[in-house]
Structure 1
């Protein structure tokens, strides 16, 4: 199973446990690139897009990576443990570090989609996403 398929499965499984009263609305993850970094043995970059349908919510998780997020369209709400939630619109950015727990990740709108670009710098042997409780 590829890293991207693993990420998509983890997001879907974790989202399925949030809010048992209604079916979860899941993000669509599209892989763009993975590149081993020869100058930094054991490190790789991973680039992907995440499309949030209206009302989409991510499960609480961590990446064990440096994560750089750039909003392409719509509006999203992001936060890491100990931080304040921020609402981001197209052209704005967000960062989460390798020790951060991503506590809030959702579409700010219940009627409009949102899409963002994610660039991760991570250890090659680390999973892309680890659900946390």
Structure 2
């Protein structure tokens, strides 16, 4: 409940949108993780899954935590979109705005989330599963990352 209110407040404060090309390039390079059948079929047919659109909404240094910052991003998954296997080296709080997504970290069970549900990734987690649960409908979610200042949003893992 507190995370939901915090994300809602940050979203209201957020302004503008900067496309985060690093995540797009990693996915385009083929560093993809586990995919559901629709994405696997597309990949097997020589077509990579669609790319997620990542938009930076807000970055804020955290003076009470020297060297740390909060970064709020919005991720839009077109139908069939999937993330590459990656890590954030950050605390990641996910809040689903619309659609349905599947998230999972190494050693954990994948979970399917719908609008209003949340997910957490720790700084040591390897994000092995992240994709749109639908091959026909888009999905959109917010990610609040608490990370080292200037550190990349994500690092892909082959």
TM-score over 0.5 for the pair: yes
Q: Which runs of 5+ in 1 are unaligned?
A: none
Larger relative contact order (Cα-Cα within 8 Å, sequence gap ≥ 6): 1
Higher share in helix: 2
* Aligned mates of 1:100, 1:16 — CA distance in 2: 16
| C-alpha distance after superposition, 1:81-119 (max 9, x if no partner) | 000000000000000000000000000000000000000
How many residues were matched structurally? 132
- How far has the Cα of 1:38 moved from its partner? 1.0
| C-alpha distance after superposition, 1:39-67 (max 9, x if no partner) | 11100000010000000010100000000
Q: Which moved more, 1:121-130 or 1:17-26?
A: 17-26
Matched, 1:4 2:20: yes
| C-alpha distance after superposition, 1:19-45 (max 9, x if no partner) | 362133110001100011111110000
* Aligned mates of 1:16, 1:93 — CA distance in 2: 23
2:136 to 98, 111, 115: 111
Q: What's 2:102 paired with? A: 77
Which 4+ residue blocks in structure 1 deviate beyond 6 angstroms? none
Change (3 A) 1:81 1:16: closer
TM-score, scaled to structure 2? 0.76
Matched, 1:102 2:127: yes
